[in-house]
Structure 1
Amino acid sequence: MATVALKAPEAEKISKLQSAVAGLNQISEKEKEGFINLVARYLSGEAQYIDWNKIQTPTTEVVVPYDGLAPSPDDISETKKLLDKLVVLKLNGGLGTTMGCTGPKSVIEVRNGLTFLDLIVIQIESLNSKYGCNVPLLLMNSFNTHDDTFKIVEKYSKSNVEIHTFNQSQYPRLVVEDFMPLPCKGQTGKDGWYPPGHGDIFSSLVNSGKLDALLAKGKEYVFIANSDNLGAIVDLKILNHLIENKNEYCMEVTPKTLADVKGGTLISYEGRVQLLEIAQVPDEHVSEFKSIEKFKIFNTNNLWVNLKAIKRLVEAEALKMEIIPNPKEVDGVKVLQLETAAGAAIRFFDHAIGINVPRSRFLPVKATSDLLLVQSDLYTLSDDGFVIRNEARSNPSNPTIELGPEFKKVGNFLSRFKAIPSIIELDSLKVTGDVWFGAGITLKGNVTIAAKSGEQLEIPDGVVLENKVINGPEDI
């Protein structure tokens, strides 16, 4: 275990914590070690302070424009060689609870009755069929999603995609009052534990044995993305560029809009490329960080990483990503979760770069308002599982959509729309109150629909609403 310099009171806390954690038989020795290490680093106060004056805007060598990438090879056998070096890994630890679903978020239906996971499998199936390659799919689950995912993937047993699952670490929540693990206080169920963020991916790949197995098969790169990002598809131009230039790490970034002002951005700092998150920004510079003028790009969390480099850095205990403290409350007890983010690892890899990709590679579904976008005529679904934006829309950005709490859960959302309206010419939609939509509706420009308190408002079949504010049937 890496040693961390601690003052006496903190060293005593760690000593007590080690004794307590030793008795937790639900987790492995590696997990216990990783957890203690994380807490020791947190207590040492080794937080990365950013000297604002040293921040530099990355050059185009560091953040490469996507248009400047060489085309991928035309030759099918050359493309097969490229793809045979690749593994696709989807972060599958999240539950669909914010959208009112139980189980893994990746099994929410997105379009035409197909789930996120169905689309991911179809995409890789078509690659493997077209090029005769073997790109495997790895799913990194958390203890929350493991059992369900294990059952769900059985339905793909006849596909030509090798699917592997593994669990990220499981760490005990810390009781703030005395820095003891919550499971030692009698909280033995799932609430006593947490998955420590996706920065844990690198050590979990190694600890699970998956990394060595992939290297033994000649795999060189892993493409990591959130399972709910419909734009995160395999890109041969990016893969080709990384192999040609021996880049150990690549973060896809995309131009910031006002909706993304809190997203992390890439900077050049003391000669290395680094992720700058809003939590690291001194208070007096937060508005500057959020401006689109100075920081023009943000992290999509689509990452490409060299597998041998992961092994080297994990074994050297060199991946000391910034710690994100996440305070929570469980049954009235204040607890702390210490987490890390995979994007923050960029500064530890050699020849790390960003690639400034088109916005189409960032299409996350975080709420039912996003589901409305991807289920509408703004997108179509291709046979090979790609969600493609309708060229009939001239505006490069998507409409902004705000749906009230009545639409928050997927079940409620679906029941309130007889059919999803046409939104190709929509700029913004805001819906509040008890609103129900008929079929064949077209929305254009800026539309606000607000049902009066205690009243139900039905938008009838076939209406066209353009630049309207609607509070009752008389406004339609």
Structure 2
Amino acid sequence: MEAVEGKLKEGGLNEAARKAFLHNYAKLEGGDTGLIPEEEIEAVDTLPRFEEIQTEGGENLEELKELLSKTVVLKLNGGLGTSMGLEKAKSLLAVKDGRTFLDLIADQIKHLSENNEASVQFVLMNSFSTNEDTLEALGASRPEILSQEDLILLQNKSPKIDAATMKPVVHEGNRDLEWCPPGHGDIYPSLLGSGMLDRLIERGFRYAFVSNSDNLGAVMSTDLLSHFAKSGAAFMMEVAERTEADKKGGHLARRKADRQLILRESAMCPDQDKAKFQDVSLHKYFNTNNLWLDFVQLKKKMEECDGVLPLPLIKNKKTVNPRDATSTSVYQLETAMGSAIECFPNASAVVVPRSRFSPVKTCSDLFALRSDAYHLTDDFCVKLNRDSVPVVKLDDKHYKHVDKMEKLCPDGIPSLISCSKLQVSGPVVFKPGTTFKGACSVTNEGGEPKELAAGVYENQDIKI
């Protein structure tokens, strides 16, 4: 423990961050696997639905203005988007009509504030990897935002633990590799340890809508805000119905011992229970990571727990150098933001439409998003121009990274407004005036890029 304490001091972590890490480290030392067997939980059958909440209503303009003026929109902005070949904050990627995620978020909040004559607080939770890029981008495109009080919440960092010695790992070649992000559950010690939680409460803020910056569906809903405020809950999770595409992701459940709502991530599921974990007809709901917090109740809970929100441990085994499989094996101790649902007896969940969960995780997602299947609304939201999302599958060998995708689509994305499915195999160059309808595939079996002639392709498998 002395070595761990020394490492935390070396890293300059604040008291709340130190306590959170030591809480997780004690679990690791104690042999806590973090596993939740199927026999200890039961499925959640029914929950309130967004459509029902929309009919509640009741707020006039003045009441809504007051409620919004007590609300913070907090975006998790710590990711670099390395899986898409990016080397800067993912939120700086242009996604629609030349606007980045960050542009859209800032414009949405400005429109919301002006339209409701309210001052909605904007907070970005940056990591040590994204902070500088984000501030530079805001200075260039939205300089007025930089003067806002409590704009930036900095994520903490955690030491990687040597799996053999159970001490903080040492990597002489690159000392930065001795540290890792602590997972988005770090939002709670970051809020407390930075003093921002107290400052926001003192400034009259009570509620927070928290979501990922790369989820374009995660826009402020005044219906959900009103419902949350009236409910008196400390915590509310937006969940969506699981499909086969979501079966490997976490799900909502209820603990049998105390009937408490909990979140079970895939890393928490024992191997023998994987089949039931992936049964979407049994465990129906997944966490969208759109969450609602009551700051006053959050602070009270953390004070009761000596400054720690007791989240379940997620133990990730990796190598100290993620690009070198032969380097020292380490544990990265992480927590999930949504797991806080189990910390509050009055926590709740609501089923929202799938449209509120529209993350951009791959170039296939980005390809569809930049097409005419989507449009930008007057309130700076990205909406479908059709009933369902076009399913796009691009060849990872050629389209995994954004720069490669853009080189193969130099004149823009083909029309997908009438396309249900598009699969692209091999290097294909799309020309202006190309339209896909129905289910189509395009295959180039050669290694060199080939152009697809402009035209309308409908329910065709094309080889070039």
Residue 225 of structure 2 corresponds to 239
Q: What is the aligned partner in structure 2 of residue 168 from structure 1?
A: 155
Deviation at 1:30, TM superposition (A): 4.3
Alignment partner for residue 341 of structure 2, among 346, 349, 352?
346
1:110 corresponds to which residue? 95
Indicate if the aligned counterparts of 2:37 and 2:270 stay in contact, CA closer than 8 A. no
Say which SS state the counterpart of residue 190 (structure 1) adopts: helix
Of the three residues 434, 442, 454, the one matched with 1:441 is 434
Matched, 1:382 2:377: yes
Contact 1:64 1:353 survives alignment (8 Å): no
After superposition, residues 383-398 of structure 1 pair within 5 angstroms as: 383-390=378-385, 393-394=386-387, 396-398=388-390
Distance 1:455 1:90 in 2: 41
Alignment partner of 1:153 is 2:142: no
Which amino acid counterpart does residue 119 of structure 1 have in structure 2?
L
Shift of 1:415: 2.1
Report the AA paired with residue 66 of structure 1.
Answer: F
Report the CA distance between 1:450 and its aligned residue. 2.0
Distance 1:467 1:447, change over 3 A: same
Question: Would the alpha carbon gap of residues 153 and 339 (structure 1) be closer, same or farther in structure 2, given more than 3 Å must change?
Answer: same
What residue in structure 1 maps to residue 105 of structure 2? 120
Structure 2 matches for 1:295-334, cutoff 5 A? 295-317=283-305, 319-329=309-319, 330=321, 332-334=327-329
| Alpha-carbon distance in 2 for matches of 1:440, 1:145 | 38
Note if 1:67 corresponds to 2:51: yes
Matched residue, 2:248? 262
Which sits farther off after the overlay, 71-80 or 344-353? 71-80
Question: Does residue 186 of the first structure (1) align with residue 176 of the second (2)?
Answer: no
Counterpart CA distance in 2 for 1:71 and 1:157 is 38
Residue type of the alignment partner of 2:296: K
Q: 1:50 to 1:138 in 2, by over 3 A?
A: same
Aligned residue for 2:87, secondary structure, equals coil
Aligned: 1:203 with 2:189: yes
SS of 1:181 mapped into structure 2: coil
CA distance in 2, matches of 1:308, 1:90: 19
Structure 1 vs Structure 2: percent identity of aligned residues?
36
Shift of 1:52: 2.3
- The answer to whether the 8 Å contact 2:17/2:189 transfers is no
2:355 matches 1:336: no
Asked whether the equivalents of residues 72 and 236 of structure 1 are also in contact (C-alpha less than 8 Å), the reply is no
1:229 Cα deviation (Å)?
A: 0.1
Q: Structure 1 residues 307, 441: closer, same or farther in 2, change over 3 A?
A: same
1:178 and 1:55, CA in 2 relative to 1: closer, same or farther beyond 3 A? Answer: closer
Structure 2 residue identity aligned to 1:348? C
Range that drifts further, 285-294 or 203-212: 285-294
Look up the match of 1:465: 457
SS at 1:110 equivalent: strand
In structure 1, the residue corresponding to 2:460 is in which secondary structure?
Answer: strand
Please tell me whether the aligned partners of residues 438 and 459 of structure 1 are also in contact (alpha carbons under 8 angstroms): yes
Q: Is the 8 A contact 1:253 1:299 kept in 2?
A: yes
2:199 aligns with one of 213, 222, 232: 213
User: Could you tell me which residue of structure 1 aligns to residue 398 of structure 2?
Assistant: 406
1:414-429 alignment, distance < 5 Å: 414-417=406-409, 418-429=411-422
Q: Please give the secondary structure, in 2, of the residue aligned with 1:231.
A: coil
Offset from partner CA, 1:297-352 (integer Å, 9 cap, x none): 21111000111122122223352222112222215222221111011110111321
For 2:52, the aligned partner's letter is G
State which drifts further: 331-340 or 361-370.
Answer: 331-340
Shift of residue 428 of structure 1? 2.0
Shift in alpha-carbon separation, 1:455–1:46, aligned structure 2, 3 A: closer
Deviations 1:265-320 (CA, angstroms, capped at 9, x unpaired): 11122311111222222323312221221122211110001111221222233522
Residue type matched to 1:304 in 2? W
Pick one of 213, 224, 231 that aligns with 2:210: 224
Asked whether the equivalents of residues 45 and 284 of structure 2 are also in contact (C-alpha less than 8 Å), the reply is no
Task: Give the structure 2 partner of residue 9 of structure 1.
Answer: none
Structure 1 residues 15 and 190 mapped into 2: Cα distance closer, same or farther (>3 Å)? closer
Normalising by structure 2, we get a TM-score of 0.91
Counterpart Cα distance in 1 of 2:161 and 2:333: 9
Is residue 216–residue 358 contact of structure 2 (8 Å, CA) maintained in 1? Answer: yes
Q: Does 1:82 align with 2:67?
A: yes
Is the contact made by 2:150 and 2:196 (CA closer than 8 Å) also made in structure 1? no
Q: Hey, what's the Cα distance between the residues in 1 that align with 2:405 and 2:150?
A: 32
Structure with more relative contact order (C-alpha pairs < 8 Å, separation 6 or more): 2
Note the residue ranges of structure 1 that are not aligned, 5 or more in a row.
1-13
The one-letter code matched in structure 1 to 2:62 is S
**C-alpha separation between the residues in 1 aligned to 2:7 and 2:27?**
17
Q: State the shift of 1:207 in Å.
A: 0.5
User: Could you tell me which residue of structure 1 aligns to residue 264 of structure 2?
Assistant: 276
- 2:22 is matched with which residue? 36
**1:8 corresponds to:** none
Gap change, CA 1:204 and 1:92, over 3 Å in 2 = same
Deviations 1:380-415 (A, max 9, x none): 10122111111xx34x35424333321122122122
| Cα shift at 1:169 | 1.2
SS of 1:293's equivalent in the other structure is: coil
Q: Give TM-score, length-normalised by structure 1.
A: 0.89
SS of the aligned residue for 1:21 comes to helix
Moved more, 88-97 or 408-417: 408-417
Q: In angstroms, what is the RMSD of aligned CA positions?
A: 2.1
